[in-house]
Chains A and B, each alone.
Chain A
């Protein structure tokens, strides 16, 4: 038992430890101003981020990310199931969706700024405008893929539409929706940083860029590392939530494999 846990820990931590050690050793005598030794980055990490900046910068960033992402999740799933349920609506919308999806959200920032102002609303909208596409398009595909026989069965049993939607459509599409949501999370973190490059006064991205501009290079690297940790943390959180929501699906897959 102990041995198995030990093996698992080795599997998880071996590569990060090796990479960190490699970085530490290779950068130890670095005199390059822009690539300081890892030890000096580690030295500034705690004073830089844990003396006030958690509340001033990290929390605002995460709140904006959460707002934009959850909004995208809500709108994406609702709109996506509507479009996915109707062939006509889908054919009507598809070219426009593909067009809109191809527009990189950063180019929208100046336009969003014109009508959403320069405050949090603009930043949340930037995050939303990037996160929505994978969720929406995956929901459309997922809903479209729901077994038509099951749909007919639900109809002939006169199941109320709400029950049909929640238990058949949404659940049937949920593996695809989860895949879209996972993609959207990565996009959201990128856009969180990008939105803070414009008209910002706080945030992890904002602070990291300020460090770069004022040539506080170890502090800049500490911001980059912090972003990496946040990405890692959110991805673990996502995996946990996904395993809860999709427990039936994983069980079904396991059964299919073994049966």
Chain B
């Protein structure tokens, strides 16, 4: 019970929803065996293809089986979700690994609890790529040097992986001019010639390809065929005060990831329930892979790239970020 109470105390200063969640957790405490307790858990996610497993797992009842009553809150991105998790408004969140490394380097303690998604590892068939418009003279990664490239967030996982791929191909990534554009604005900017190339992820990869754009660099797959892009994480405080909840969440999450991997058609079908992706696009897009193990080498690699590109000043404590 003290564990529950400490959560309630931590949440007391927060938004009403978080306070309600903590009360809900406490109410069911007397139901008997530990298996029948239900915790109200809120997870901050981004409404994109990558998080299909958690929606699927919720639908399949994997979280219920672990005594978790799941609420999914959508946020704009890591920058919105991380504060939510750090403040206890969300117990868990979804973010790309580079954002978590940036948080770690600023002494914001976060711990990964489950993998989010990974590259397919196949150059030519991944869920994210740099595309150039029809008729462009950009044909390979090195050609991106000196060009204007749209990314959804500057100085994050998109630019560090593109830089690596360009560097590996013999180009000078420091000459790339990155422009920050939202993914939905990229197809327009690309066809107008406002940018020379754009880094897109699904479903925008399928959409731009439909407009005649060609992928020229597979920045995730070519960086590392097993690159883990994103992860589910929690605050260090939650990890320490309620390891049991974290373990149950991780179990349910792993089950969900496995289920999504085994049933890609169901993963495609559930997209329409939380995104605007229509059925036809959902059919065509390339899904990421959903491994069930956190890939520690990926975290190290992305940290090295962040260091090399000057996003962080010193080697982050990777160990502290891993479960």
Contact = CB atoms under 8 A, between A and B. Distances in A.
A199 B181 contact: yes
B315 interface: no
B48 interface: no
Interface string A106-149: 00001001100110000000000000000000000000000000
Contact of A213 (B79, B188, B194): B79
Contacts of B87: 34
Q: Which of A199, A212, A217 has the most CB of B within 10 A?
A: A199
B106 A214 contact: yes
B12 to A, nearest CB: 14
Contact of A34 (B83, B99, B189): B83
B185 A113 contact: yes
Given A113-B189, A210-B155, A118 B181 contact: yes
Nearest to B312: A214
A200 interface: yes
A165 interface: no
A215 interface: yes
A151 B184 CA distance: 54
A214 B106 CA distance: 8
Nearest to B191: A114
Nearest to A114: B188
A215 B181 CA distance: 20
B296 interface: no
Contact of B194 (A117, A200, A201): A117
Interface string B149-185: 0000111100000000000000000000111111011
A118 B106 CA distance: 31
Interface string B195-221: 100000000000000000000000000
A34 B153 CA distance: 21
B34 interface: no
A118 B195 contact: yes
Interface in A23-48: 33-34
B148 to A, nearest CB: 9
Nearest to B110: A215
B86 A110 contact: no
A49 interface: no
Contacts of A215: 82, 102-103, 105-106, 108
A117 B179 CA distance: 12
A33 B108 contact: yes
A117 B153 CA distance: 18
Nearest to B235: A33
A238 interface: no
B79 A118 contact: no
A210 B153 CA distance: 9
Given A199-B179, A199-B181, A113 B106 contact: no
B23 interface: no
Contact of B179 (A34, A201, A213, A216): A201
A114 B192 contact: yes
Contact of B180 (A34, A114, A199, A214): A199
Nearest to B177: A201
Interface in B93-136: 99, 102-103, 105-108
A118 B150 CA distance: 11
Contacts of B178: 201
A200 B181 CA distance: 8
Interface string A71-87: 00000000000000000
A201 B181 CA distance: 11
A201 B153 CA distance: 11
A110 B185 contact: yes
B78 interface: yes
B181 A213 contact: no
Contacts of A118: 179, 181, 189, 194-195
A212 B156 CA distance: 13
B149 to A, nearest CB: 12
A200 B106 CA distance: 24
A201 B179 CA distance: 7
B153 A213 contact: yes
B311 interface: yes
Interface string A188-227: 0000000000111100000000101111110000000000
A213 B185 contact: no
Nearest to B99: A213
Interface string B270-285: 0000000000000000
Nearest to B77: A213
Contacts of A34: 83, 86-87
B79 A212 contact: yes
Contacts of B189: 113, 118, 199
Interface of A: 33-34, 110, 113-114, 117-118, 198-201, 210, 212-217
5 contacts: A33-B86, A34-B86, A198-B180, A201-B179, A215-B103
Given A201-B177, A214-B311, A215-B82, 4 more contacts: A110-B188, A201-B154, A212-B79, A215-B102
Interface of B: 77-79, 82-83, 86-87, 99, 102-103, 105-108, 153-156, 177-182, 184-185, 188-189, 192, 194-195, 311
Top 10 nearest A-B pairs (CB, nearest first) are A215-B106, A213-B79, A215-B103, A214-B102, A118-B194, A33-B108, A117-B194, A199-B181, A215-B108, A199-B179
